[in-house]
A and B are shown apart, each in its own frame.
Chain A
């Protein structure tokens, strides 16, 4: 019995994700089509300078991009192209957008992965400590520091870190060195400041969430029972309280990925010159290279969608108390 409702739930959840994906693509399509810009714009100035006829150019470019067709045909073409993994052509770098992303995603990934690791590990440790030592001076200090960590704008923090550690003390390079091999100590060193920049806000958030989740559970009856059984405090905190605090924490960490991390990584990459997806989108903005900007937003959104799906499905295994109708 148990198996069947579980797989039913997973199937439902997957179908639901597909519907959301369709919504995301449709909204993006509408945004791009409603926008005042046309792909022809970037050629117009050039042509006009040479005395060409702007109307003719516009018509030619629009025919090339299929913009002269009825809107529903454009919509189906757009969906069809995306479905085949065709994200369009980046004219500012003269290559398919999918190629561009293939060469650059790893830089974003390493930054986000290391920052999340740093933030989650340290944040959870400090949060547990703060909760166990509630209302002590250290707890107050950590709570206050976490307020500061949440409030500090991460792009400003990055600039301050460069100013202090690179410009003043010369400990790090002011710019990320792209020639370094990915799996090397030098690369890790180059990522120290970016990881702190992106990780601080997350870290502060995790300290607060862990602390409050731990405090919620510390008051529960099963903790008293565990202590009454004579279990060592370490076991009570680690095995009983923390296990129960972990689940809401995972939800929040996953949610953060969408709301904070991608935006933060975008800015961090720009400040340190890390050639990740944020950086290529940033460059594309100035080159008015539409397909790249759209593709980066879509990739971020689909990552969130997949992570949400994975989190929900993993819950059914992690927490047997959860039942879905």
Chain B
């Protein structure tokens, strides 16, 4: 009978809100989704690339006019070069070398180095701007739901106004007015991207507010602070994690798009800026536009896969 009681204890343990066990439980559920695991793996790879990659690559800003428009390894292109002595164009074949595995751009800068430092920019922008948006959205959502009355009314009307602005057009206007520095772009994305989160958190908190455990906590004399931080926020945390994962790709794309239209920080080689310069050299050096785009695409795909997997894992109704 000892074994049975052991099982019972195990079963009880499963239901207890033990933090590591809960994380483990959700991880088990997420792991069953192969695409989500791929997403997570790619994100970890990207973080590693952004963190230590620049130590191993060449200087991304160093121009070298001896080696312009070199194709990636295994690719060969024909290039017309003007020859002063014969006063004629000679066609030469250029093959990619291992010195520049991803080729070089029209200024001879190493593409690999630029891609790696671009990863740093995109991830930093994605994580910090999403962080700002999530914190702002959560505060506004919870405060709105918890205080109710005219505060709720005012905050939600303000949210409505902000939501009516098309996200990208508002961003263009703000960055145009205040100038394109990376810190400001991050701030602008964070300060405009909180609206959807605030609404979701508010509606979730509204339904939580009337639940027995919150009512009980209040009846026991818990302060507002305690109810909000101990009861409301921990219960919407899974929602926050999902929202964060799913909003990061939008933020990364927004920064890339801003850079692409020339509203990026010109001192920082982000994927959007490389892509923009590649657009003008499609006929001579297609890889300059292709490579940063593939990275952007894979990054967005990875976060979408992970976010989707997490949503299923956190949803008690779904049987993954």
User: Any chain B CB within 8 A of the CB of A156?
Assistant: yes
We find that the number of chain A residues with CB closer than 8 angstroms to chain B is 48
**A114 CB, nearest partner CB in chain B, Å:** 19
> Which residues in window 141-172 of B have CB below 8 A to A?
157-158, 160-170, 172
Residues of chain A contacted by B304 (CB below 8 angstroms): 147, 150-151
A281 and B172 within 8 A (CB): yes
Q: Mark B12-56, 1 if CB is under 8 A from A, else 0.
A: 000000000000000000000001000000000000000000000
> Which residues in window 23-70 of A have CB below 8 A to B?
23-24, 27-28, 31-32, 34-37
**A301 CB, nearest partner CB in chain B, Å:** 5
A31 and B177 within 8 A (CB): yes
User: Any chain B CB within 8 A of the CB of A293?
Assistant: yes
Residues of chain B contacted by A258 (CB below 8 angstroms): 163-164, 166-167
User: Any chain A CB within 8 A of the CB of B286?
Assistant: yes
Contact of B282 (CB < 8 Å), options: A32, A153, A163? A163
A159 and B289 within 8 A (CB): yes
Residues of chain A contacted by B308 (CB below 8 angstroms): 147
Residues of chain B contacted by A28 (CB below 8 angstroms): 173
Q: If the complex has contacts A35-B178, A262-B169, are A153 and B261 also in contact, measured as CB distance less than 8 A?
A: no
Of A78-86, A123-131, A234-242, A263-271, the segment with at least 4 beta carbons within 8 Å of chain B is A263-271
Task: Please name the residue on chain B nearest to A257 by beta carbon.
Answer: B166
Q: How far is the CA of A308 from the CA of B305 in the complex (A)?
A: 30
User: Any chain A CB within 8 A of the CB of B60?
Assistant: no
**A145 CB, nearest partner CB in chain B, Å:** 12
Contact of A301 (CB < 8 Å), options: B158, B166, B178, B256? B166
Task: Please name the residue on chain B nearest to A156 by beta carbon.
Answer: B293
A interface residues, Cβ below 8 angstroms from B: 19-20, 23-24, 27-28, 31-32, 34-37, 147-148, 150-153, 155-156, 159-160, 162-163, 167, 174, 258-259, 262-264, 266-267, 270-271, 281-282, 285-286, 293-294, 296-297, 300-301, 304-305, 308
B261 and A23 within 8 A (CB): no
Contact of A159 (CB < 8 Å), options: B253, B256, B278? B278
Residue pairs across A and B with Cβ atoms less than 8 A apart, 19 shown, are A24-B161, A27-B165, A147-B35, A147-B308, A148-B301, A151-B301, A152-B300, A159-B275, A159-B278, A160-B290, A162-B282, A163-B282, A262-B168, A263-B257, A266-B261, A267-B260, A285-B261, A294-B173, A301-B166
B169 and A297 within 8 A (CB): yes
B164 and A20 within 8 A (CB): yes
Contact of B260 (CB < 8 Å), options: A27, A155, A264, A293? A155
A304 and B166 within 8 A (CB): yes
The 7 A-B residue pairs with the shortest CB-CB distance, nearest first, are A263-B168, A156-B293, A23-B161, A35-B177, A151-B301, A262-B166, A151-B300
A282 and B296 within 8 A (CB): no
Q: How far is the CA of A297 from the CA of B293 in the complex (A)?
A: 27
A267 and B257 within 8 A (CB): yes
Contact of A266 (CB < 8 Å), options: B169, B177, B278? B169
